[in-house]
Amino acid sequence: MKSICAVYRSRRNPDTYLYVDHHEGLSRVPEALQRELGGTERAMTLVLTPQRRLARTSAAEVLRAIREQGYYLQMPPLPETLRVQGRDAT
């Protein structure tokens, strides 16, 4: 399955991205989430297939989230110190 996705960048946190179906745009993204992001600006358009490589997640996961809930929210990675603390705590 191939899908055209629009990617929006949060105006409040530039390392947070919202992936949506290109044709649906932000119509399925809850207003509360859009407010929390401080508004968005379009960053890029991607053609995704389940096999495509992405930097922080699998394209298959992005496509599944868009299909099921209308969007995929990519948060910034945790700082290294928090990741190490999280591992030590377990």
Phi, psi of 75 (to 5 degrees): -90, 160
- Could you read off the pLDDT of 38-86 as tens digits, one per residue? 999 999 999 999 999 998 999 999 999 999 999 999 999 887 655 555 5
Q: How much is the pLDDT for 83?
A: 55
Separation of alpha carbons 6 and 83, rounded Å: 30
**pLDDT for the residue numbered 66:** 98
pTM for this model (two decimals) = 0.84
* Domains of the chain with bracketed CATH: 3-89 (3.10.510.20)
At residue 50, the pLDDT reads 94
**pLDDT (0 to 100) of residue 77:** 85
Residue 90: per-residue pLDDT? 47
In this structure, how many other beta carbons lie within 10 angstroms of the beta carbon of residue 66?
A: 19
By residue count, the chain amounts to 90
